[in-house]
Amino acid sequence: MKKIILLTFALFLISCVSKREFTELNSKYSNSESEKVKLLQEIEELKTQHNDLSSKIENCTKEKNELQVRYNEATQTPEYYYKKGIEFLKLNQLKKAFLLFNMITTFYPNSDLVKNSNNKISELDKISNSNLKSTLNKTKSLSLGKKISSIQDDFDNLFLNKNDSIKLRNIYNKYLYEYESEEFISETEDKMQSCIFYETKRLTCQHSGRALLTFEFYIVKNKSGSKFLRLRTQYSNDNWMFYDKVIVHADNIQIEINCDYPEKQTDTSGNGVKEWSDNSIDNLDKSIFKIAESDKIDVRFVGKYAYEMTLNDAQTKALKEIIAKYKKL
Note the pLDDT tens digit of each residue in 166-206: 999 999 988 888 887 788 999 999 999 899 999 999 999 99
Domain ranges within the chain, ordered by starting residue: 79-181, 187-328
Which SS3 state, helix, strand or coil, does residue 121 take? helix
Asked if 204 and 216 count as a contact pair (C-beta separation under 8 A), the reply is yes
pLDDT digits (tens, 9 = 90+) for 196-240: 999 999 999 999 888 999 999 999 999 888 999 999 999 999 999
- Beta strand pairing call for 306-310 and 298-302: antiparallel
The helix-helix angle for 114-139 and 162-182 (nearest 10°) equals 20
Q: Is residue 219 a contact partner of residue 326, using CB atoms and an 8 Å limit?
A: yes
Q: Cα separation of 99 and 153, whole Å?
A: 21
Contact status, residue 204 vs residue 313, Cβ threshold 8 Å: no
Question: Within the chain, which residues score under 50 in pLDDT?
Answer: 2-3, 6-7, 9-11, 13-14, 17
pLDDT at 72: 56
- Residue 289 pLDDT: 92
Q: How far apart are CA 177 and CA 171, in angstroms?
A: 10
pTM: 0.55
pLDDT for the residue numbered 99? 93
Residue 89 has a pLDDT of: 94
H-state helical runs in 158-207: 162-182
What is the reported pLDDT for 177? Answer: 80
187 DSSP β-pair partners: 198
The answer to whether 297 and 277 have CB atoms below 8 angstroms apart is: no
Please check whether residue 264 is in contact with residue 245, taking contact to mean a CB–CB distance below 8 angstroms: no
